[in-house]
Amino acid sequence: MKKLSFALLLVVSLTLAACGEEKATPAPTTNNGAATSAPSTGGGSSAITIDAADGGTLAYKTTAVEAAAGEVTVTFNNPGALAHNVVIVKAGDEQPAVDASMASAPDFLPPADKSLGHSKTIATGASDTFTVSLQPGTYSFICTYPAHYTAGMKGTLTVK
């Protein structure tokens, strides 16, 4: 377990070091060892990582992440076999975002007035990063690709 934690810390540290000069604190982990968030030492900003589940599963590896209020950099990784995205919405606005995304095939991303921010829709092995400004509160992250949200591809983002 110590080797896995050290390896995860090393990967997160190297990834954040490649993105800039800021030092970061170690990322909290879920029970399965997946990184959930990595707060930065910069004022009013943080970084989180959301991963799609492996294989053809319509799920994220973790369903709860935390971030500091302000600018939040979201990195979305898709190791899964299907195309996915991650869309940040206010709690309760999930279905309107999904409904609005149907008009933007083949990416299935909601318009700006239906989400707070989103990744690109990406295929197997790809990653995308975006930044969103968030106030303290509870938000949802969802996949708006057809039928993915309905099948359970969603999670909660708590901003403190």
Place of tokens 């409904």: 99
Question: Topology of 37-159 in CATH?
Answer: Immunoglobulin-like (2.60.40)
CA distance 160 to 158: 7
CA distance 82 to 58: 8
pLDDT digits (tens, 9 = 90+) for 112-137: 999 999 999 999 999 999 999 999 99
Give pTM, 2 decimals.
Answer: 0.74
pLDDT digits (tens, 9 = 90+) for 130-158: 999 999 999 999 999 999 999 999 999 99
Domain boundaries, the chain: 37-159
